[in-house]
Amino acid sequence: MMLCTQLTAEANEYGTNNEYYVNPGCYGQSQKKRKLKLLDTYWEQRLEWNDKINQPIKPLIGDVFNWLKGRTNGVNLFPNIGALLAMLLCGDLVEAGILPMPSVKEWATLIHGLKKGAITGMEIYGLTQKKCKVVDFYTSFALLDQVLQRELRMDEKEMMGYNIIMLEHTLCKIKCLTLRLLKKVILSAI
């Protein structure tokens, strides 16, 4: 609560609307329920994060993913955290060293379940077929990772922070990049 009050005071001090801190369209379609007032709800649940993550044996990424999307008595445990945001949070927790790096199979299974940008990126490059089965997606994703691991120099991988989390993020950008390049080509031809 104190954190929320501090953020509100800082926003008001600078004459900024509090909602400036919340982008309702940051992950896909606009979510009108994504509001700054949810910070209080999340703050009240902060100890649940400690209970989930500060264990002698770190939870698997799939367990944390399912927990973030969880419901209690028909109500979302974490309001406005859907499948995509839950996966991105899991990836951030891995990058921060809080969760262990998932296996390629675990990560590919989560990606396939979302049916979002990374799958589209694989389809655009002909690495998977539309509506492919999870085993086919995992196989293609694993092969792509193996090729990149082999072909990229160590200094390149270090510079870009290459891992399977980063690979998923990159594949998500393929569709946007492809559309922008296509638009540029079409506009330059006109």
Tens-place pLDDT, residues 135-153: 999 999 999 999 999 999 9
Higher pLDDT, 125 or 23: 125
What backbone phi and psi angles, to 5 degrees, belong to 76?
Answer: -60, 135
Cβ distance 120 to 174 under 8 Å?
Answer: yes
Q: Which residues pair with 75 in a beta bridge?
A: 72
Lowest mean per-residue pLDDT among 6-10, 146-150, 168-172: 6-10
- Residue 131 and residue 150: Cα distance in Å, rounded? 28
- Residue 110 and residue 106: Cα distance in Å, rounded? 6
**CB proximity list for 20: less than 8 A, separation 6 or greater:** 11
**CB neighbourhood size of 59 (10 A):** 17
Residue type, 13: E
- Residue 135 and residue 144: Cα distance in Å, rounded? 14
Task: Report pTM.
Answer: 0.75
Exposure of 19 in the CB half-sphere (CA atoms within 13 A): 7
**pLDDT(34) > 80:** no
* DSSP SS3 for 24: coil
E strands, 93-135, in order: none
**CB proximity list for 169: less than 8 A, separation 6 or greater:** 91
What backbone phi and psi angles, to 5 degrees, belong to 72?
Answer: -130, 125
Cβ distance 111 to 137 under 8 Å?
Answer: yes
- pLDDT class of 24 with cuts at 50, 70, 90: low
C-alpha R_g of the chain: 20
Question: What is the model's pLDDT at position 157?
Answer: 95
